[in-house]
Amino acid sequence: MTISPAELGFYIFGLFILFLTPGPVWVALVARVLAGGFTQAWPLTLGGAVGDIFWSILAALGMGWVASSVEGGMLVLRIVAALFFLWLGVTIIRSAGHKVTGDSRLTRPGMYAGFVAGLIVILSNPKAILFYMGVLPGFFDLSRLTAADITAIAVASFIVPLVGNLILAYFVDRARALLSSERALTRMNYAAGGLLVLVGLAIPFV
């Protein structure tokens, strides 16, 4: 592997901070748990995490080619990644008080329906691939990635949202209180947005 444990850890930290930002999947998980218990929630989480594996590998391969083929490409990609995190953090802070809305496609009952819904929502969302394309260059030198590196990135991209969403589903009562409290939601968005800005500022110096 060419990537260091520190680089991988920094990437995992970035993924975790992004997970802390409430969104429709959070609401869908809460709704599924309330409707049918934990067994209705984990298939959705698994489907979404599998989709994250696909996009992270595709982004690593695509951006790796750009970084290795274009002179100065890695520097440009790192700058773009830093700006991406700054933009994302500021956007979250500006919309900190906005309520989270659900997506009915994610709340259909049934384990199979939950898995497929989670998978389709990730694979059909162009923002997912844009996210990984924008994020990965900020953490790794994509021009030197090996198969082992890409595997490690894919595993991290799978485990972080999977574990995070499973924990969210398990503590659904606390999550429900958080999502229903405008003050708590605002504070979490401010915190997550601020941390994303810090990650963006730190990327050029890592």
Alpha-carbon dihedral of residues 147, 153, 154, 158, nearest 10 degrees? Answer: 160
Q: What is the mean pLDDT of the chain?
A: 75
Q: For the chain, count helices (H), then strands (E).
A: 9, 0
Q: Quick check: 33 and 41 in contact, CB under 8 A? A: yes
Q: What is the pLDDT of residues 153-205, one digit of tens each?
A: 999 999 998 998 888 888 876 665 566 667 776 776 787 778 778 877 876 77
| Spatial distance between the Cα atoms of 23 and 179, rounded to a whole number of angstroms | 10
Cα–Cα distance for residue pair 93/6, rounded to 1 Å: 28
pLDDT at res. 151: 92
Q: Classify residue 70 as left (phi > 0), alpha (psi -120 to 50) or beta.
A: beta
33 pLDDT band, cuts 50/70/90, is: confident
Six-digit token string for 192? 């997550």
pLDDT at residue 68 is higher than 80: no
For the entire predicted model, the pTM comes to 0.66
Most confident segment among 79-88, 126-135, 149-158: 149-158
Half-sphere exposure of 162 (CA within 13 A, CB side): 16
Token look-up 């049934």 returns: 110
Is residue 122 scored above 70 in pLDDT? yes
